[in-house]
Structure 1
Amino acid sequence: MNDMPINGKWISAGADQFWTDIARHDHVVQLYENDGVFLDTLTGFIEATIHADENVVIIATDQHLSALEARLGTYGVEIERMISEHRFIPFNVEEIIAEFVIDDDLDEALLLKAASDLLTKAAYGKRKFKMFGEIAPTLMAQGYKDIPMRIEQIFDKVFHEHRSCLYCGYSSKLFNGDLSQYRSPVCEVHSKIISGSVKQLTHVLYQQMPSSLSN
């Protein structure tokens, strides 16, 4: 599967430059073809955040959290120390979802409370922060249709107000491997897309979403 950008050409940037400067205030999405590509990108995202002396919040499945921590360890990141210092702040996505999806429906007041709590934890020590989340894709995988987009829209507004980077990762399997979905509502709520078929530990291939070019 080859993911083609909307305007026919990816832009390349170093991972530190992309996550710290280019996408500093963006809502970024990646439709990835396999976990190897995704985990490399997420590792680069975390390393760039650490290099910038910022906190990073990761909301992911247990499987992804375990694989991520193992990868970070191989690159010399002292996970336990980072957690104890509130620099690396991991959450199980199912536990977060349970805070605001009640009886198969979204309670927006509880979602906003959960978002506020996450932001408070993210800003520990009055540091800047970035966040990765797979709340919406997890709900999509469970068969929810409307709730994932409502959550994306609310988080988009919250992070726009706080001017912090939010990175979301979706397996392309959720779209039957069809990356023409770059024009889907999922991607349109984001301001930048990054390639999902190339490993991006040290460099990122990205493109601005057309709807956000004037932002």
Structure 2
Amino acid sequence: MRAAHDHVVQFYDDESYLCEAVTRFLSPGLRPGQPLVVIATPTHLDAFTQRLKVQGFDVESAILDGRVTLLDAGRTLSTFTDENMPDAARFKESIGNLFEKSRAGTDAMSVRAFEEMADLLWRENRPEAALCLEELWNELADTYSLSLCCGYAMSNFAREEDSDRFQTICSHHARVLPTERYSHLLDEDARLREITYLQHRALVLETEIQRKRAEAERVKPLEREKAASESASPPS
């Protein structure tokens, strides 16, 4: 039987919003003593910790008694990455052991985790490795009851060629959470307006892409004719 699993992706524009969103995700686990695992950059680890302290959580005590585990994303990634791609067996061993350790001595069956290793891979222009990592997280859910949030900077997907991979990233997650541009809109009318604006922008962009493709197809025969003419011309 597949373990209980919630795999969420949180996109963000500004890092302060990421901090807000992640601490909001982690807080429900700290209150009942659910094991928390946070795999992030050192800067983000510090920001998350400070924000949780402001909310009244005794993070140091939780770390000392093993309820909270903070890990450097880059270093953790290196424990199971082989020749630029995640190794499935090493991932399962590394992260599996981490989860077992975090649950030791508790009655909790589920682990709440945030990670941005996939985001690091994307920033390093290794999208296939990032997609592979997302698949490995989903496979790990066959063994562990897990509530997982993955953070991605929306700026990773600014190019036209990122569109299909962006949709693939979303498809690997049970829930997709938008950036602060939408999430901070509290009024339902404002949200509907924003969705409408985004739909219009998407239509304009798609129309422009199709126009450029049609123009490229129109020019190809002319370029071939020019190349053929130049190759047939006698040398001067």
Counterpart in the other structure of 1:165: 147
Structure 1: unaligned runs, 5 residues or longer: 1-23, 201-215
Taking CA–CA contacts closer than 8 Å with sequence separation of 6 or more, which of the two structures ends up with the larger relative contact order? 1
Whole-Å Cα distance in 2 between the matches of residues 103 and 154 of structure 1?
A: 16
Question: Which residue, out of 57, 70, 76, partners 2:56?
Answer: 76
Whole-Å Cα distance in 2 between the matches of residues 85 and 102 of structure 1?
A: 33
CA contact (8 A) 2:157 2:163 kept: no
Whole-Å Cα distance in 1 between the matches of residues 112 and 127 of structure 2?
A: 27
- Cα deviation for residue 105 of structure 1 reads 3.3
1:4-83 matches, within 5 Å, as: 25-83=5-63
- Cα deviation for residue 183 of structure 1 reads 6.0
Whole-Å Cα distance in 1 between the matches of residues 30 and 103 of structure 2?
A: 14
Check 1:192–1:182 CA distance in 2 against 1; reply closer, same or farther (3 A cut): farther
Counterpart in the other structure of 1:138: 120
Asked if residue 148 in structure 1 is aligned to residue 125 in structure 2, the reply is: no
CA contact (8 A) 1:62 1:92 kept: yes
- Cα deviation for residue 114 of structure 1 reads 1.1
* TM-score normalised to structure 2 length: 0.69
Question: Which residue, out of 69, 76, 94, partners 1:114?
Answer: 94
CA contact (8 A) 2:111 2:145 kept: no
Whole-Å Cα distance in 2 between the matches of residues 181 and 77 of structure 1?
A: 40
CA contact (8 A) 1:26 1:165 kept: yes
Asked if residue 104 in structure 1 is aligned to residue 104 in structure 2, the reply is: no
Identity of aligned residues (%): 23
* TM-score normalised to structure 1 length: 0.75
Determine which structure has more spread, i.e. the larger CA radius of gyration.
Answer: 2
Instruction: Give 1 or 2: higher helix fraction.
Output: 2
Structure 2: unaligned runs, 5 residues or longer: 186-236
Instruction: Give 1 or 2: higher strand fraction.
Output: 1
- Cα deviation for residue 182 of structure 1 reads 9.4
